Structure 1
Amino acid sequence: MNITSSAMVIGVADAAASSRFFNAHLGFHEVIVRTGFVALGREDAAVDIYLMEDRPRANVTVSFAVTGIAAEHARLRREGANITAPLRQEPWGEWVLQLTDPNGVVVQLVEWLPPAAFPVKDPR
């Protein structure tokens, strides 16, 4: 098997509202727009996102590994994005923040640091 692309299908109440959020704050653009359906894409390696109004809704978290997370956090704050978990460093070294779109889709931005970039603490 050779996977040539990937997509995430997300059931939402309002596809247009989620589309505006992903476009304004995360750099996605609309590829296909139909009643109750929006396909979003980017020019980089991000997964395509399909927003569908007729699908069952579930708790969804979309996670993107990024670079320059501190600058992204500042930009999102300036734009008024709904940041629901502020930028923080996890004990294992990654930096993470979360924002939530109008339909409750949680978007997590993560910047991974190599293990040598953070000290290992003695658990005693």
Structure 2
Amino acid sequence: MNIVASTVTLSVTDPVASGRFFTTHLGYREVLTGEEFVVLGRDDAAPDVLLRQRDLELPPGPGPVGVLVSFAVTGVAAEYERLRREGANITVPLHREPWGEQLLELTDPNGIVVQLTEWIPPAGT
């Protein structure tokens, strides 16, 4: 098997709001839109994102609650400053974990948590 692409599919109450968040703050572009969905893409290794309308007639499922999409990036400190300037909803400020990971988290209008992380080896390694 040779995987040539990947897509993360998220069922949300408002696909347009999440789409706006991903295009405004995370560099995605709209690839395809329909009445109840938005497909987003990038030109790098990031997976495509399909935001689809959650069926409001069904009982609420897990939805985006507990969903975390993590992107390994370069220059996370600069991204943090850019996101602050843009007024993104940063829910966990930039910090460094003892094992060397530097990360931040932001949350979109539908509750999807997006983590940006960069590995920075601990001093002395």
Letter in 2 for 1:110: T
Which residue is 1:82 aligned to? 89
1:20 aligned onto 2:20? yes
CA distance in 1, matches of 2:108, 2:24: 11
Deviation at 1:50, TM superposition (A): 0.3
Runs of 4+ in structure 1 over 2 Å off: 117-120
CA distance in 2, matches of 1:93, 1:113: 5
Letter in 2 for 1:62: V
1:102 aligned onto 2:109? yes
What's the TM-score once normalised by structure 1's chain length? 0.90
Question: What is the total number of aligned residue pairs between the two structures?
Answer: 118
Gap regions ≥5 residues in structure 1: none
Percent identical: 58
Deviation at 1:119, TM superposition (A): 4.1
SS of corresponding position for 1:98: strand
Gap regions ≥5 residues in structure 2: 56-60
CA distance in 1, matches of 2:7, 2:76: 24
Report 1:11-90 matches (<5 A): 11-54=11-54, 56=61, 57-58=63-64, 59-90=66-97
Letter in 1 for 2:84: R
Deviation at 1:36, TM superposition (A): 1.3
What is the CA deviation profile of residues 4-46 of structure 1, one whole-angstrom value per residue up to 9, with x for unaligned ones?
1100000100000000000000000000100110000001110
Which residue is 1:118 aligned to? 123
